[in-house]
Structure 1
Amino acid sequence: MNTQIVLVPGFWLGAWAWDEVAPRLRDRGFAVDALTLPGLSETSPDPSATVDQQADAIVAALDPQAARRVLVVHSGAAVPGTVVLDRDPTLVDHVVYVDTAPVADGYAINAELDDDSLPLAAVYDAELEDGSMRDLTDAQLQTFRDRAVPQPGATVREPVVLRNDARLDVPGTVICTAFPSSDYTVYAAQGAPFLRGLTEFRRLELVDLPTGHWPMWSKPAELAAAIATAAGFPLHVDSPPPR
């Protein structure tokens, strides 16, 4: 089918976060590349990494020879992912936003962050309490804590600059996991900054996959199926891979 899927994890994570999703997609014939963004290497973390550097890495991973390129961004990876669309909307045929949404011009995740980096430990208890880690096993939570890399501060603090309105026509699928699509719509209409892109982008479909904020661990088969469907080739969760 010559369709490439590029998987980009959110804060604190490397390519390993997709280990239960990527094989399911490859079994269906997709060319799959999972990324570790600049700054988030487990062996050589770099707190000075920027959103532009992360966007560069995504662009470099996109195969110009693929007939179709699908970019999957989880959580905070929507920021460099949207920058890629702003640079050149023709680079990507479809974007899948996993419990996130495209961002708007001027958006920063936390402009008040003073530190060089944001470690998982700084927000872990709050994330656990508010339910975003729903459906994760104790072993998965331990792996998350053990392997998490501090998020480079600039990627949290710096506002994005977006100027190319053609990005607004790149089709996308928003997979709503930690809260339902109806809430996404309501919060966007109320002006929630992290969902402003939902009111701007013109070709988005919202689908529900109820679980926590990390469905690549809590529901990997279901997430792979949703990504495959968004890519244009439905993957049935209960079907064996083709032989």
Structure 2
Amino acid sequence: MSALLEIAGLQTAYGPSQVLFGIDLCVQAGEVATLLGRNGMGKTTTVRSLMGLTPPRAGTIRFRGERIDGLAPDRIARLGLALVPEGRHVFPNLSVHENLVAFAANRSGRRDPWTLARVQALFPRLRERASHRGDQLSGGEQQMLAIGRALMTNPHLLVLDEATEGLAPLVREEIWRCLAQLRAEGQAILVIDKYVQRLVGLADRHTIIERGRVVWQGDSATLAADPALWERYIGV
């Protein structure tokens, strides 16, 4: 069976500066996968290439068996890829309610789609803050809103870039709880985050990159058993 997402030989550059040098990465349906590495190693560029925001120069990206490298970002999104971007990027002048309903769709054809009520049940704070503008929310609330907004599209694959970056510990725990619930429901997820201790308990497989190249791939048991690997490629 083909992978839900399959990236092969991905090369991406910004002008004359090449950032990615042949990235390979797979995500299976219903699987949680990670993309790990220190800052500046190419994780966000990989996500930007996946979403059509920075088109790759070489390599292929297949999603549900269809090549998507070279497609426009809006078309990629309509195929059922949803991004929770680094920095959240909620609409500051729209209310929480408006931010959520503006993206309502059922792109994966789920029988039990994510609705406004389901998202508010997942993040009760969004119900409490429904009438507040995006720029009136805390960073943690904005992250909940960004995740809720992505879920409202009912994607085949949810991509989170820096899932818990800059969040208070209690809010971070709420995000981890959310991701665990999504995994239990069979949602495929690709997550970028630095908290390896939490990711080994959440994800099925991991890809570590350094300077735009894949340096390690494996499962959670193997990664958890090798802390030296964390220090070499992920630790600050």
TM-score (norm 2): 0.29
Tell me: higher relative CO, structure 1 or 2? Use CA pairs within 8 A at least 6 residues apart: 2
TM-score (norm 1): 0.28
More strand by share: 2
